[in-house]
A and B are shown apart, each in its own frame.
Chain A
Amino acid sequence: MLSDFVKIRGSKDGLVIIANDVKDIDSLRKKIINRIEHSLTFFKGADLIVKMRNTDIDEEKINELKNYIIDNYGVTIRLEKFQERRLKNVKDKNDIFEGLEEGMTKFYNGTVRSGQALKYYGNLVVLGDVNPGGIVQASGNIVVMGNLRGIAHAGITGNSKAIITASKINAMQLRISKLISRSPDNNIENEVVYPEIALIKRNKIIVKPLYTYGKI
């Protein structure tokens, strides 16, 4: 009996029906109507989100169902693909990326050469150098396992907590969220040979040795 009932959850998007194991439009209709009829007053006038994994049901039939339910029960249905939950950190390109500690990460194998631009809405790890004239951008953190000589821009969608770290930072410019900085003008004598990390502190981008990072 329980399997006839479709699960309903409350989320910040409103009421959500999880209809995972639905194979065709008729069983979907049965399931939704079943649930609604069960508590008519509760659902009336509500927006109902239906999340389903099965996406090869006919568009037309889905619209038919939507209209039927609005007309007869006053409930608006929105259909969404189920998988989207997994990409919650990158749901919208305009949203601030929240996955700095645990989030979608891209691994790029190779050197980013002059004139090449690498952009990812998530964290980015480059297994290679970033040559001068090359630019790497990420909405999350940037890690360069190599020599960062070009431009790195972390937190491009607005997260100021994003960091940039590299085996060697010799960057033309470092950018985090809206701040831009370049290396001091007289630094030719002080070439640093250990890994460093760049982050925003007191509204400025600072660069410090990576091995002291954990002890801030």
Chain B
Amino acid sequence: MMSEVIVITSGKGGVGKTTTTANIGTCLSMKGYKTVLVDTDIGLRNLDVVLGLENRIVYDLVDVVEKQCRLKQALIKDKRYDGLCLLPAAQTRDKTAVSPDQMRKLTDDLRQEFDYILIDCPAGIEQGFKNAIAGADRALIVTTPEVSAVRDADRIIGLLEASEIENQMLIINRIKMDMVKRGDMMNIEDIMDILAIDLLGVIPDDENIVISTNKGEPIVTDEKSLAGQSYRNLTERLIGEDVPLINLDTNNGFFGRLKNLFRIASSR
């Protein structure tokens, strides 16, 4: 199959890009796809911590780009999941150490070996963002149901459209159903009204995510967690399977409407 380079971005910091990248990546490898996760947040790397691989880093992305080592030497094979690799960012440099052209060359090299290349984009719209989107075929935009996050996501979508990355899908993270019902949190329809791109999935807020990131075990491995199951469903939708929405809520009326949004998204 043709390799796909997917960038996970958001604009706003702290909405769940790194957690999403780790979980989708782990889930893809569990399904048998050769997956590599690339951390482009140079200077503030987190993807290695969230995966529990920080002790195994010898070489990083900047070393590869500066030709201090071969790509294979920098890739870290996750021993728990067959087919999952990590290319960590550098911690002692900053975003100016890499250029978009270098990223394009890197993703082209990675395409030879992997089915899915997930790029964890840093927050912001400057050099880090430009580097991350350079080689991407499609984008996943992560947002939380907050006005400031949606505003930033809108900006990012505009920038992605201008860079001709037209395949864009939205992930709404950390939603709290009871707050939405009370009217204290933004409604999914309101978010879709402003952002107007296809919805890939909705992840509920879950305390277990904090525990999983601290332990370095992505939550998709937790059978009981609702967030984990949402990530698993989301990944299946990503690779093209038609997955019904899990009921995050007992009130069917709300979800009847939500289901329609998903039918539109998954029928493409």
Residue of A nearest to B152 (CB): A114
Instruction: Please report the C-alpha to C-alpha distance between residue A10 and residue B229 in the assembled complex, in whole angstroms.
Output: 80
Contact B151 A111 (CB under 8 A): no
Interface hit among B153-161, B199-207, B218-226, B246-254:
B153-161
Which of A113, A147, A149 is close to B158, meaning CB atoms less than 8 Å apart?
Answer: A113
- Chain B residues positioned under 8 Å from A165 (CB to CB): none
- Chain A residues near B158: list those with CB within 8 A: 113-116, 134
Chain B residues in 8 Å Cβ range of A155: none
Measured between beta carbons, the chain B residues less than 8 angstroms from A129 are 194, 196
Cβ of A116: which chain B residues have Cβ within 8 Å of it?
158
- Which label, helix, strand, loop or mixed, suits the secondary structure of the A interface? loop
**A-B pairs under 8 A by CB, number:** 29
Q: Which residue of B lies closest to A111 (CB)?
A: B196
CA distance A114 to B194 in the complex (A): 10
- In the assembled complex, the Cα of A115 lies from the Cα of B158 at a distance in Å of 8
Interface magnitude class on chain B: 10 to 19
Instruction: Tell me which of A115, A133, A149 has the highest count of chain B C-beta atoms within 10 A of its own C-beta.
Output: A115
A132 at the interface (CB under 8 A from B): yes
Count A-side interface residues using an 8 Å CB cutoff.
12
Interface residues of A in 27-66 (CB under 8 A from B): none
In the assembly, what is the distance between CA of A132 and CA of B191, in Å?
12
A131 within 8 A of B: yes
Interface centre among B154, B155, B157, B196 (most CB of A within 10 A): B154
B151 touches A133 (CB 8 A): yes
Give the distance to chain A from B105, nearest Cβ to Cβ, in Å: 29
Tell me the chain A residues, 106-120 only, with Cβ under 8 Å from chain B: 111, 113-116
- The answer, among B155, B161, B193, B196, for a CB contact under 8 Å with A133, is B155
Chain B residues within CB distance 8 Å of chain A: 151-152, 154-155, 157-159, 161, 193-194, 196
